[in-house]
Structure 1
Amino acid sequence: MADQPYKTWQCRTCGYIYDEEAGDPGEGLAPGTRWADIPADWICPLCGTPKIDFDMIEL
């Protein structure tokens, strides 16, 4: 999977964007952390929306 391009995911509720390449170090997600590697019970750090309610987007 390391050869796959990084993807970006957006919260349907508040618009928070998770970029796999950048990660979110403030949330304990190191740069390069793939969406699939984030626990299923993870929630949006801004509004608490569950991971299942994020959509992959292209910027």
Structure 2
Amino acid sequence: MAEEAFKTWQCRTCGYIYDEAEGDESEGLAPGTRWRDIPEDWVCPLCGTPKSDFDMIEM
């Protein structure tokens, strides 16, 4: 079975981009960290918007 492609998520408030392939080392999220593996109480590092207010986007 093929590995699921990495996805990209964008904050609805400020436009911050979270790319699963790249992660966000400054947030302690290693490259390859899937969106589903980020805690539900995580918030946007730029504006504090909750994880629930991010949308998956096509790059």
TM-score, normalised to structure 2's length? 0.96
Paired with 2:27 and 2:43, the residues of 1 have a C-alpha distance of 10
1:17-44 deviations in whole A, cap 9, x for unaligned? 0000000001000000000000000000
Q: CA RMSD in A?
A: 1.0
Alignment of 1:8-47 (within 5 A): 8-47=8-47
Mapped partners of 1:57, 1:27: distance in 2: 20
Cα distance in 2, alignment partners of residues 6 and 46 from structure 1: 22
With normalisation by structure 1, the TM-score equals 0.96
Distance 2:37 2:31 in 1: 12
SS at match of 1:9: strand
Identity fraction in percent: 78
List structure 1 segments (4+ residues) > 6 angstroms apart after TM superposition: none
Task: Determine helix, strand or coil for the equivalent of 1:6.
Answer: coil
